[in-house]
Amino acid sequence: MSEKNIEAWDNFLFLLDWLLAVESRYPGHLQFGLAYVDYESPRVLGEAFGAQRAAMKLDEVSHSLRRLFRKSDLVAREGSDVWILVPYTPADESLADKIAYIVEAASQGGLQIVERDIVLFSLPLEAGQVPPGLCAREMLAYLKHNREALALREVVLPAVA
């Protein structure tokens, strides 16, 4: 992973931790969106391109997303997981469509060989949906694991050979 992506990931976790802390202290005062782009089979990418080339292609996707989103939106990647943190916007369909378009365009360099899911969450979640006191990493893992129950919307971009 490039130095720029490592820095973006650290900033992303710091801000998400801060948002979670503010939300726990002042419940109901913040609303923000979180999008998760899941490349279904990183193993297939690694086999097709080699691990280093696949990582470079994923870096290109996250760089494209950072360039095309607003400066107030944070884009970060860890492994094959790409996360986008955006101030709350009620137009979730346009956000999903925008992310799908960007991911599809950025994938044309070869990443389209695997299915890509784009999952939108509206945070904070309702009381009882998330265990209290989770840090940013734990929250992301929890959302990934429970995405079917917690997602606001999911868009699937099928694999193209």
Q: Would you tell me how many other CB atoms lie within 10 Å of the CB of residue 120?
A: 21
Q: Whose structure tokens read 């931790």?
A: 17
Cβ within 8 Å of residue 81, ≥6 positions away = 36, 37, 38, 39, 140, 144
Q: What is the largest CA-CA distance in the chain?
A: 48
Do 121 and 34 contact (CB within 8 A), yes or no? yes
What average pLDDT is seen over the chain? 80
First-residue to last-residue Cα distance in the chain: 26
Provide the whole-model pTM: 0.83
Among 45, 83, 38, residue whose Cα is nearest residue 62: 83
Q: Whose structure tokens read 């101030």?
A: 87
pLDDT digits (tens, 9 = 90+) for 98-156: 777 777 766 665 666 567 788 888 888 776 788 888 999 999 999 999 999 998 888 87
User: One-letter amino acid identity for 143?
Assistant: L
- Determine what percent of the chain is predicted with pLDDT higher than 70: 86
